[in-house]
C-alpha cells in the first residue's frame, strides 16, 4: 500500500473537496478534517507494523515526474521519491498526532470555517510531504507549499497584529528558501545520476547528492576541484534551514508569528514547522556537504549555544506568556543544533529525540497558553496570580508541561538534552568538532530554563487569586481541552520513562550518520 502518498495526498484532496462544499454547512468542515486526521493516525499505526527499525529507508515510492532535456547540459530529472527512515519516521508520526490535536484545538473557530479547515488540510499534506520527500525538488515544492496556507492562517485568524506577523513570517521564510533554491540549482547541475551511464542526467535525488562519486568531475561543487564553493554552498543551505529552525540571529520572525497566530497554528508552527529546519540540516546540509560540516562545526555549535542562552534570556524577560514559550522554543532548538554539530551517534540521536520531544512539549505549552487566552483574552503574565486555587486541573497540566520543558528527569525533554550533552562533551575527544567549553556554557541554558518556568509558575499560579483582565468565568478544563492535553502529557511521560521505544527507531539512523565522514575519507581530525 502506498502509505506515504496516502498520508500526503488524502488531506490535499479532501481540501479540494471541501472547497466545493457550500460555506453555509459550517459543521461539515471540522468533521471532515478530523476524519482525515483519524485516517492518517490509522495509516500510521499500519505503517508501524510495516516499518523495521533497522531497515534504513523504507516504504519507498518512486515514480518518474519531470524529465527535461537541457540540450548541451544533459537531462534534468526530478522524481516523485518518498521514503522514511529513522530520522523521518518519528517526525511523520509526530505530524500525524499534532495535526489531529490542532484540528481539535480549532473546533471553536467560527470565522470562515471553510477556508480555515481547507488551509489546515493543505498544510497537513505539505508538512508530511516535506518529511518524506527524498527528491530535492519535491522537498522544495512541499516546503514552499507550506508558506501560503501559513500566511493566510496567521493573517486571517490571528491576533491584533496578525497582518504584520504573517508578512514577516512569509518574507523571512522565503528568504531562507531562496538560499536553499540557489544551492539546489547549483547542486543538481553538479550531480549526475549513476543510474544512466550513456548520458548526463542531472538528478535531484538527495541520495545521489550524498555520494561524492556522483558529482560530475570538474563541476562547481565537485569536492576534488571546487575549492571554497562547497563551503559557500554549505553556509547558504545552512542559513536557509536555520531561518526555519530558527537559530539566533535568524529567529526574529518567530516570536511575532507565535504571538499573533491562533492557538492551533502556534501548535503546528512550534511542533512541526520548526522541525523542518532541523530535519533539513540533518537530511540535506550535513550529508551532502560533510566537508562544510567539519569546517563550520564550531560555528554551528556556537550558533546553537548562542540560541540556547539568548532564547532563554529573552524568555526570562518576556511579559507575554506566548512570547515566553516562543523564546523557549528558540532555546530548545539551539540544543538540536548543538547535538547535530557534535556529529556523534549520541549527539545526533539526541537531536532527533529533542525534536520529537519538543514537538510534543511545545504543543502542550501553546495549548496551555490558548486555554487561558480563550477565557480572558489576555496573556500578560503579571496580570495573573493564584490561578492554582481556581483551575486545579489546568495547573496540573501546566506543571507537567513546564517541568517537561525544563528537562526534569522522567520527561522526554530530559532524554533528548542528556543525549545531546553526551554527544557534545564527547565530541572534543572523539572527533574534535565541538570544543569542550560550548556544552559547559550550554548547561547554563538549563539553569535559565528552570528559572523562567519556575518564576512563571510562582507568579501566575501561586499566591492569592487575582486576575486583572475581563472575563466571564474562569472554568477549569473542558472535555475538549482534556482530550488535547492528556495524550500529549502521556506521550511526554512515556518517552521520558521508556526512551527505548523511540530510540529503537532513531538509533540506526544516528549510528549510520557519523560513519558518513569516514566512508567519504574526509579526515575529521584536523
**Interface of this chain with other proteins, residues 198 to 227, rule: CB under 8 A:** 219-220
Closer residue to other proteins, CB minimum distance, 46 or 171: 171
Minimum CB separation of residue 276 from other proteins in Å reads 15
Sign of the dihedral defined by the CA atoms of residues 153, 102, 371, 493, in that order? negative
Q: Which stretch binds other proteins (CB under 8 A): 69-77, 100-108, 305-313, 511-519?
A: 69-77
Query: What are the C-alpha distances in Å from 1 to residues 4, 7, 46, 97, 362?
Result: 9, 11, 10, 21, 33
Q: How many CA atoms lie within 13 A of 118 on its CB side?
A: 18
Q: Reduce the DSSP state of residue 63 to 3 states and report it.
A: strand
Return d(Cα 72, Cα 189) in angstroms, integer: 12
Which of 497, 509, 452 has its CA nearest to residue 308?
Answer: 452
Query: What are the C-alpha distances in Å from 348 to residues 55, 202, 301, 501, 504?
Result: 18, 30, 13, 17, 14
Minimum CB separation of residue 82 from other proteins in Å reads 16
Closer residue to other proteins, CB minimum distance, 140 or 414: 140
Q: Can you tell me which of 60, 185, 436, 440 binds other proteins, judged by CB under 8 A?
A: 185
Which of 288, 219, 226 has its CA nearest to residue 74?
Answer: 219
Which of 401, 348, 378, 394 has its CA nearest to residue 510?
Answer: 348
Based on the shown chain and the rule CB under 8 A, indicate whether residue 174 belongs to the binding site for other proteins: yes
Closer residue to other proteins, CB minimum distance, 146 or 372: 146
Q: Which stretch binds other proteins (CB under 8 A): 96-104, 186-194, 238-246, 280-288?
A: 186-194
Minimum CB separation of residue 322 from other proteins in Å reads 20
Angle at 441 between CA 438 and CA 444, to 5 degrees: 150
Minimum CB separation of residue 285 from other proteins in Å reads 18
Strand partners for 61? 82
Closer residue to other proteins, CB minimum distance, 145 or 517: 145
Closer residue to other proteins, CB minimum distance, 257 or 306: 257
Based on the shown chain and the rule CB under 8 A, indicate whether residue 381 belongs to the binding site for other proteins: no
Minimum CB separation of residue 220 from other proteins in Å reads 5
By CB neighbour count within 10 A (0-12 exposed, 13-18 middle, 19+ buried), where does 418 fall?
middle
Based on the shown chain and the rule CB under 8 A, indicate whether residue 186 belongs to the binding site for other proteins: yes
Q: Can you tell me which of 97, 189, 305, 442 binds other proteins, judged by CB under 8 A?
A: 189
Strand partners for 205? 135
Return d(Cα 336, Cα 87) in angstroms, integer: 13
Q: Which stretch binds other proteins (CB under 8 A): 71-79, 297-305, 418-426, 516-524?
A: 71-79
Strand partners for 384? 467
**Interface of this chain with other proteins, residues 275 to 334, rule: CB under 8 A:** none
Based on the shown chain and the rule CB under 8 A, indicate whether residue 16 belongs to the binding site for other proteins: no
Q: Within 296-344, where are the H helices?
A: 297-317, 321-342
| Site track for other proteins across 154-173, x = CB under 8 A | -xx-----xx--xx--xx--
Minimum CB separation of residue 124 from other proteins in Å reads 16
Closer residue to other proteins, CB minimum distance, 79 or 346: 79
Minimum CB separation of residue 70 from other proteins in Å reads 5
Q: How many residues bind other proteins (CB under 8 A)?
A: 38
Return d(Cα 318, Cα 460) in angstroms, integer: 14
**Interface of this chain with other proteins, residues 105 to 134, rule: CB under 8 A:** 112
Closer residue to other proteins, CB minimum distance, 220 or 295: 220
Which of 166, 184, 375 has its CA nearest to residue 284?
Answer: 184
Cα 72 to chain centroid, rounded: 40
| Site track for other proteins across 73-92, x = CB under 8 A | x--x----------------
Residues that bind other proteins (CB under 8 A): 66-73, 76, 112, 137, 140-141, 144-145, 147-148, 151-152, 155-156, 162-163, 166-167, 170-171, 174-175, 178, 181-182, 185-186, 188-189, 219-220
Amino acid at each position: 500500500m502506498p502509505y506515504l502518498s496516502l498520508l500526503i495526498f488524502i488531506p490535499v484532496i479532501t481540501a479540494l473537496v471541501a472547497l466545493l462544499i457550500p460555506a453555509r454547512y459550517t459543521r461539515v468542515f471540522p468533521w471532515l478534517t478530523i476524519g482525515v486526521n483519524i485516517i492518517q493516525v490509522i495509516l500510521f499505526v499500519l505503517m508501524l507494523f510495516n516499518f523495521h527499525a533497522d531497515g534504513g529507508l523504507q516504504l519507498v515510492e518512486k515514480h518518474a515526474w519531470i524529465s527535461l532535456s537541457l540540450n548541451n547540459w544533459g537531462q534534468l530529472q526530478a522524481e516523485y521519491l518518498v521514503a522514511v527512515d529513522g530520522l523521518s519516521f518519528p517526525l511523520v508520526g509526530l505530524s500525524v498526532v499534532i495535526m489531529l490535536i490542532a484540528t481539535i484545538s480549532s473546533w471553536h473557530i467560527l470565522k470562515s470555517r471553510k477556508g480555515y479547515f481547507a488551509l489546515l488540510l493543505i498544510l497537513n499534506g505539505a508538512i508530511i510531504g516535506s518529511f518524506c520527500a527524498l527528491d530535492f525538488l519535491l522537498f522544495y515544492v512541499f516546503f514552499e507549499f507550506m508558506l501560503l496556507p501559513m500566511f493566510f492562517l496567521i493573517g486571517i485568524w490571528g491576533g491584533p497584529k496578525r497582518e504584520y506577523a504573517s508578512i514577516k513570517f512569509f518574507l523571512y521564510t522565503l528568504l531562507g528558501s531562496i538560499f536553499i533554491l540557489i544551492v539546489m540549482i547549483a547542486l543538481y547541475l553538479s550531480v549526475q545520476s549513476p543510474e544512466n551511464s550513456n548520458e548526463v542526467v542531472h538528478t535531484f535525488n538527495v541520495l545521489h547528492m550524498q555520494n561524492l562519486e556522483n558529482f560530475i568531475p570538474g563541476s562547481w561543487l565537485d569536492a576534488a576541484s571546487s575549492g571554497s564553493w562547497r563551503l559557500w554552498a554549505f553556509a547558504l543551505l545552512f542559513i536557509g534551514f536555520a531561518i526555519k529552525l530558527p537559530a539566533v540571529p535568524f529567529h526574529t520572525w518567530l516570536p511575532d508569528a507565535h504571538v499573533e497566530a491562533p492557538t492551533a497554528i502556534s501548535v503546528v508552527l512550534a511542533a512541526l514547522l520548526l522541525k523542518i529546519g532541523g530535519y533539513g540540516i540533518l537530511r540535506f546540509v550535513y550529508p551532502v556537504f560533510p566537508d562544510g560540516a567539519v569546517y563550520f562545526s564550531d560555528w554551528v555549535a556556537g550558533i546553537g549555544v548562542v540560541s540556547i542562552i539568548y532564547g532563554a534570556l529573552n524568555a526570562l524577560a518576556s511579559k507575554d506568556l506566548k512570547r515566553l514559550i516562543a523564546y523557549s522554543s528558540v532555546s530548545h532548538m539551539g540544543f538540536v543544533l548543538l547535538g547535530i554539530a557534535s556529529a556523534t551517534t549520541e549527539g545526533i540521536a539526541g537531536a532527533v529525540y529533542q525534536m520529537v520531544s519538543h514537538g510534543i512539549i511545545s504543543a502542550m505549552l501553546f495549548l496551555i497558553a490558548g486555554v487561558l487566552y480563550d477565557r480572558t483574552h489576555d496573556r500578560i503574565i503579571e496580570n495573573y496570580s493564584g490561578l492554582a486555587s481556581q483551575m486545579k486541573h489546568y495547573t496540573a497540566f501546566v506543571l507537567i508541561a513546564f517541568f517537561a520543558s525544563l528537562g526534569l528527569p522522567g520527561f522526554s525533554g530530559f532524554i533528548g538534552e542528556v543525549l545531546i550533552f553526551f554527544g557534545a562533551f564527547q565530541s572534543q575527544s572523539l572527533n574534535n568538532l565541538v570544543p569542550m567549553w560550548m556544552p559547559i556554557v550550554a548547561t547554563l541554558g538549563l539553569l535559565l530554563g528552570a528559572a523562567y518556568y519556575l518564576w512563571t509558575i510562582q507568579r501566575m499560579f501561586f499566591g492569592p487569586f487575582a486576575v486583572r483582565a475581563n472575563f466571564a468565568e474562569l472554568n477549569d478544563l473542558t472535555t475538549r481541552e482534556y482530550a488535547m492535553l492528556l495524550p500529549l502529557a502521556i506521550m511526554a511521560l512515556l518517552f521520558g520513562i521508556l526512551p527505548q521505544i523511540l530510540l529503537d527507531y532513531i538509533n540506526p539512523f544516528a549510528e549510520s550518520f557519523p560513519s558518513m565522514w569516514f566512508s567519504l575519507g574526509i579526515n575529521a581530525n584536523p
